[in-house]
Every structure is written in structure tokens, then in C-alpha cells.
């Protein structure tokens, strides 16, 4: 079962029960807070998860406010797990700003999300956090880190993106994630959550089927690819891979 709730500007919340066949809607339901959208886990007898879509900006506090509204809405509707996209924390205007705005996992922003998870009593998949790792002083580069929090706000898993997106975009020039980001050293074992065993990946990882196969063979029931593709890279990846 799938429901859609829109929140202007550029915010979107979808609710689904893993394991059900999902019909492809021709147009998302865009009614203001309709009761019909309040799908609960009891109505489909499966765990309810929420997929939160946002358009991030360089303003980290405004981004947190936007994400928190969607997470609280998901909790109100009965979700046990909410997924946030890659770069949920911010999208900077240039690589220098990206590095300046980045934080360690023990920084203030992750503390706000741990409090949010405890407040709402649900798990959070933070799809791509700009992390200053322990090697920040040596490398001056960050990690693209997928963080999983449980309903008590504890970090239960972290996966650092292994496949970095270095591509030449026609008409726009090169996009080199590796200029400011370090590749992660390893995969993370699938994590048991109220919605099932979740395998963590990020965005460009979906181009490499060996990663999905390894997670599936390790017992993953849900594969996650939180993404922040652009208007050119998005169609170039999602349409060929999933069509």
C-alpha cells in the first residue's frame, strides 16, 4: 500500500508497507492532510515505512526543520522507520563550502537527529551525511555516510559510500566527488529493523550490482539507495537501471 502527502515547497512524503505489490499511480494524491493518507501498520498488517524527499540547501538548520516536519508526520501516521535522502543535511554551493559545513558524527546536527528519533519513537535512515571522519586532519576530505539510528536515537550502523561519482556531464563539465570525498573502506552487514533487514548503500552504488548481491546474500530484505542525483545524472542512472 502506498500513500503520498505533499508539503510545499519541494517536500514529499510517501508511505509504504514493505512486501506489498505497489501499483504505479498516474498522479500522486496531493490532498492537504487527507485522512485517506493516514495509512497505519494495522491497515496493511505489515510494518509501515516513510520515504521523505526534500530539496536541501546550504542552510543546515532550515533543512533540519524541513526533515523534522516530515519525520514527525511519518510518526503520527504510524511509521516505524523513516528514510531521508542523500545530502539531507545540506547541499552546498561549491566543494569548499561542502568541506566547511561538514561535521563529525558526534557533532551538533547528528545530536539533533538522535533527539528527533527518541522524540518520535521511530528508526531513522539518514541517507548521506557529510561526515568529517577520524582522518579529517590528515586528508581534509569527508565521507558520504549513511547513518542508521534506532528509535532510542542510538547509531546502530554507518556505511560510508564506496563508489564515488566521478563523471563527465555533457555541457556542464566534470563532476568529481572524489575531489572532496574519501571512499568508504567496506560494506556494512544488513541491519535488523522493525521493517526487516536493511542493506545500506548510497546513490551511485546502485551502478555496481556486486554490492547489491553481497547485501542480498548476507540476508538483506530491503536495499536502500538514498540519492541526490541532478537533472542530468538522475535520468541517466535511474531510467536505464530500473526501466
Catalytic positions are 86, 161, 203
CA distance 165 to 213: 20
Residue 166, classed as helix, strand or coil, is strand
- Please choose, from the candidates 123, 120, 187, the residue with its C-alpha nearest in 3D space to the C-alpha of residue 154: 123
CA distance 189 to 174: 33
- Please choose, from the candidates 87, 92, 58, 97, the residue with its C-alpha nearest in 3D space to the C-alpha of residue 147: 87
Q: Which residue's entry shows cell 558520504? A: 144
Neighbouring residues of 31: CB distance < 8 A, sequence distance ≥ 6: 37
- The distance in angstroms from the start CA to the end CA of the chain is 21
Amino acid at each position: 500500500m502506498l500513500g503520498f502527502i505533499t508539503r510545499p515547497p519541494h517536500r514529499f512524503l510517501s508511505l509504504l508497507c514493505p512486501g506489498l505489490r505497489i501499483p504505479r499511480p498516474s498522479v500522486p494524491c496531493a490532498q492537504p492532510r487527507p485522512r485517506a493518507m493516514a495509512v497505519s501498520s494495522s491497515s496493511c498488517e505489515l510494518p509501515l515505512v516513510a520515504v521523505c524527499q526534500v530539496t536541501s540547501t546550504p542552510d543546515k538548520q532550515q533543512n533540519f526543520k524541513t526533515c523534522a516536519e516530515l519525520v514527525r508526520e511519518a510518526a503520527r501516521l504510524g511509521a516505524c522507520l523513516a528514510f531521508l535522502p542523500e545530502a539531507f543535511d545540506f547541499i552546498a554551493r561549491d566543494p569548499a563550502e561542502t568541506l566547511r559545513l561538514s561535521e563529525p558524527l558526534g557533532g551538533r546536527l547528528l545530536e539533533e537527529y538522535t533527539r528527533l528519533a527518541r522524540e518520535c519513537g521511530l528508526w531513522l535512515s539518514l541517507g548521506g551525511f557529510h561526515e568529517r571522519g577520524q582522518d579529517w586532519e590528515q586528508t581534509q576530505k569527508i565521507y558520504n555516510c549513511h547513518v542508521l539510528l534506532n528509535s532510542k536515537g542510538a547509531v546502530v550502523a554507518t556505511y560510508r559510500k564506496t563508489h564515488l561519482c566521478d563523471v563527465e556531464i555533457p555541457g556542464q563539465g566534470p563532476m568529481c566527488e572524489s575531489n572532496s570525498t574519501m571512499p568508504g573502506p567496506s560494506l556494512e552487514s544488513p541491519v535488523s529493523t522493525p521493517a526487516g533487514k536493511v542493506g545500506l548503500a548510497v546513490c551511485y552504488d546502485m551502478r555496481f550490482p556486486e554490492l547489491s548481491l553481497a547485501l542480498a546474500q548476507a540476508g538483506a530484505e530491503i536495499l536502500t539507495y538514498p540519492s541526490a542525483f541532478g537533472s542530468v545524472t538522475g535520468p541517466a542512472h535511474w531510467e536505464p537501471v530500473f526501466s
